[in-house]
């Protein structure tokens, strides 16, 4: 996330949300969270994960080993929408929080 210009924030992911927060060494305390809210249809599968910083691929690797991890990472909530036919739609809602 690196939102305060410092590196080595703490990162944690659960199935529903990804979080990052500053350490005691940061001069400006902060926290962020990306959280799943809704999905339609209900059968859509999803997973929140800690990812490589700046990874914008469609299927980023989960970087969390011994979660929470300390480092300069990013995060995502990844949804498996499958293949959409003509005029078909699926929707998801996420919430981004920053302190």
Residue 11 pLDDT > 60: yes
Residue 50 pLDDT > 70: yes
pLDDT band at 13 (very low <50, low <70, confident <90, very high): very high
Q: Specify the residue for token string 């500053």.
A: 22
Asked whether the beta carbons of 38 and 10 are under 8 A apart, the reply is: no
Helix/strand number for the chain, H first, E second:
0, 7
Residue 35 pLDDT > 80: yes
Average pLDDT of the residues in 17-40: 83
Measured CA to CA, the distance from residue 12 to residue 78 in angstroms comes to 15
Instruction: Taking the CA atoms of 84, 95, 26 and 28 in sequence, report the sign of the dihedral they define.
Output: positive
Residue 2 pLDDT > 60: no
Q: What is the pTM for the complete model shown?
A: 0.78
Lowest mean pLDDT segment, chosen from 25-29, 34-38, 69-73, 95-99: 25-29
Q: Quick one: pLDDT at residue 26?
A: 58
Q: Which helix (H) or strand (E) holds 49?
A: strand 45-52
Distance from chain centroid for Cα 31: 13
């Amino acid at each position: 996330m690196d939102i305060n210009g410092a590196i080595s924030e703490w990162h944690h992911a659960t199935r529903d949300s990804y979080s990052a927060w500053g350490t005691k060494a940061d001069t400006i305390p902060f926290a962020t969270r990306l959280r799943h809210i809704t999905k339609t249809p209900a059968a859509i599968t999803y997973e929140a994960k800690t990812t490589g910083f700046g990874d914008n691929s469609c299927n980023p690797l989960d970087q969390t080993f011994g979660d929470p991890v300390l480092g300069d990472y990013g995060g995502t909530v990844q949804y498996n929408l499958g293949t959409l036919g003509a005029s078909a739609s699926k929707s998801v809602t996420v919430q981004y929080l920053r302190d």
